Amino acid sequence: MPVFKKPNFALKVEQPKSTFAEGNARWTNKDLDPVPRHGRKWGVSSFLAYWISDAFNAATWQFASSIIAIGLTWRESLGIVALSFFIISFVIALNGAIGVIHHVPFPVLARASWGFWGSYIAIISRAILAVFWFAIQNMNGANSIRVMIAAIWPSFLTMHNGIPESQGIETNTLISFFIFWVISLPFLCIHPNNLRWLFMAKSIIVPIAWIAILIWAFRSTGGGGEMFNQKATLSGSAYSWAFLSSMTSVIGNYATLSVNQADFSRYSRVSVKWQIIYVPFLPLVFTFIAFIGIAATSAGQIKYGELDWDPMALIAHWDNRACRFFGAFSFALAALGVNISANSLSAANDLTALFPQYVNIRRGQLLCAILAWALVPWKILKSAGNFLNFMAAYAVFLGPIAAIMVFDFWLVHKRKYDTLALYQPHGIYRYTYGMNWRAVVAFVVGVAPNMPGFIQSINPKIDAGVGALPYHFGWLLGFTATSLVYVVLSMLVAPPRETFIDRAVLPDEVYDEQSIVHEGLSVHGSGSGDEEGRLEKTGWKAKMNRIL
């Protein structure tokens, strides 16, 4: 008779023994360890494809259009997008460089500036926001799937709606949400090293489709439209606050990647200097995509009599069913790519750091997908105003977190981190009971001024008065205030001298020394005098003793 074996499913994830995991299963697993040399497969083309893939999504299309919807002009909206990405690109490049140098993800790097337990403040904050944005992009993908299905089966749009109107979603949209969600699941199981092929494919297909839409927009309107002649409907202080609020919203869209860039840059096999390419590259690409959104929306207003900032509403008007299908497909692919790169992998790394014995990157992404259902994203995207409010809220917490990471590495510690100590909870990054109080104080100072406005944005019935004004430039205020407080506390008031080291300790040194220990010292007893002297001279003997 055949013998049936039980499925080989373990509740705990794989935790192979390594130099970094030795005795610290609570703080690492295979996916949190530094990426070894053979695991670094991202080159310059991979990173460029990654950012082109990230840029081409419905949210970027909607930046300028939604800013125009609240009363600014198309020129001002493009200026806001360019300025916002010029600012955020520096933070992305600086935090990404740390990942290239130490080849560890954001949750591990956060231990150097926050402490082991203190890092949970940054990790949980980003995990919650990443899950939120994952749900938002799923809604964008669902709208694309809805148009694709309607292009094949027109009656899909008129099917019976059994959902109450108060819920803000129809049955066909909910079905589309589920379909897009299911399609996403296999991609959530792909290792980040192999995802670069998805990003490369998207960076070819989606730009071609969207440039075709831009050509259509200019050919169908003769190169203009009412939107290009529109004047600002705001003036005085209302204009200024709208400008700042819009800029904060644009920055907020990529505030996550300003924090978690190390989650991808850790796989880099090229020089850290390549990170600086983001500074000119990101403003140009994102501003160009925002311009496509303006031109297409303006064309839609002329041809169909509607000024709608939702690209799916525009595509749904097209007469040619094939064009509707493939146009919507480009947006579905766009939503899929950015949802993985900016959201599910971010959340997965965070969840892995919180529960390393039970969660790895694959399980973390699947858990993120499940949690997205609880956030009813269709209500967040109900109007341009709500969209901007959500994006502003997104930035309130991440600006201070990004500031602490940037200034801790580049200024306070002068680019000298000990990679091995990032996995030793009782090592130099223990701080006070596992928490760096300087980071906590700076974080609170950066977030606190924005809370009245944040609360008011969630519940408009609460009138915060003038207390809501700082929220309009929440990211800039939070980043600046946190930076100043953290630098003053860490360099002047109470420097954490126990964390200052003479030179950086990089993961390749640890991996190489581990190889020497296992292949040399373990085989030949205590090792030769020369080898013993070399380890003593480099300061690694004590570290190896602790490991062994």
Give percent of the chain above pLDDT 90. Answer: 41
pLDDT at residue 376, rounded to an integer: 77
pTM given for the model? 0.85
Handedness of CA 495, 500, 504, 508 (dihedral sign): negative
Band the pLDDT of 392: cuts 50, 70, 90. low
Residue type, 8: N
**Is position 177 within any domain?**
yes
pLDDT at residue 485, rounded to an integer: 97
- Residue 540's Cβ-count burial label (10 Å; 0-12, 13-18, 19+) is buried
Which position has the token pair 């570290």?
Answer: 543
Q: How far apart are CA 6 and CA 95, in angstroms?
A: 45
Q: How far apart are CA 460 and CA 331, in angstroms?
A: 32
Q: 392: which 2 tokens?
A: 């502003």
Average pLDDT over residues 51-72: 82
Is residue 380 pLDDT above 60, yes or no? yes
Find out whether 433 and 520 touch, Cβ atoms under 8 Å: no
Band the pLDDT of 242: cuts 50, 70, 90. confident
Band the pLDDT of 158: cuts 50, 70, 90. confident
Ranges 69-78, 123-132, 320-329, 512-521: which has the least confidence: 512-521
Partners of 73 in beta bridges: none
pLDDT at residue 385, rounded to an integer: 59
- As a three-state string, the secondary structure of 442-507 is HHHHHHHHHHHHHHHHHCCCCCCHHHHHHHHHHHHHHHHHHHHHHHHHHHHHCCCHHHCCCCCECH
Average pLDDT over residues 51-78: 83
C-alpha atoms less than 13 angstroms from C-alpha of 351 in its C-beta half-sphere:
24
Q: What's the CATH code of the domain at 264?
A: 1.10.4160.10
Band the pLDDT of 404: cuts 50, 70, 90. very high
pLDDT at residue 471, rounded to an integer: 84
Is residue 486 pLDDT above 80, yes or no? yes
pLDDT at residue 96, rounded to an integer: 94
Ranges 181-185, 379-383, 431-435: which has the least confidence: 379-383
pLDDT at residue 8, rounded to an integer: 53
The domain in which residue 322 lies consists of 37-157+171-401
pLDDT at residue 419, rounded to an integer: 94
**Is position 525 within any domain?**
no
**Is position 320 within any domain?**
yes
pLDDT at residue 312, rounded to an integer: 87
pLDDT at residue 547, rounded to an integer: 40
**Is position 120 within any domain?**
yes
Element (H, E) at 233: none
**Is position 424 within any domain?**
no
Band the pLDDT of 302: cuts 50, 70, 90. confident
> How many structural domains are present in the chain?
1
Average pLDDT over residues 122-130: 87
**Averaged pLDDT of the chain:** 84
Average pLDDT over residues 439-451: 94
Average pLDDT over residues 209-219: 89
Ranges 51-55, 77-81, 92-96, 459-463: which has the least confidence: 459-463
pLDDT at residue 23, rounded to an integer: 54
Average pLDDT over residues 25-42: 88
**Is position 498 within any domain?**
no
Higher local confidence (pLDDT), 170 or 85: 85
Average pLDDT over residues 503-517: 81
pLDDT at residue 423, rounded to an integer: 92
DSSP 494-545: ---GGG--SS-B-HHHHHHHHHHIIIIITTSTT--HHHHHHHHHHTHHHHHH
pLDDT in tens, 259-283: 989 999 999 999 899 999 999 999 9
Is residue 66 pLDDT above 80, yes or no? no
pLDDT at residue 518, rounded to an integer: 47
**Is position 48 within any domain?**
yes
User: Residues of 45-74 as b/e, b for ≥16 C-beta within 10 angstroms?
Assistant: ebbbbbbbbbbbbbbbbbbbbbbbbbbbbb
Higher local confidence (pLDDT), 28 or 484: 484
**Is position 453 within any domain?**
no
Find out whether 339 and 138 touch, Cβ atoms under 8 Å: yes
Is residue 534 pLDDT above 60, yes or no? no
pLDDT at residue 16, rounded to an integer: 67
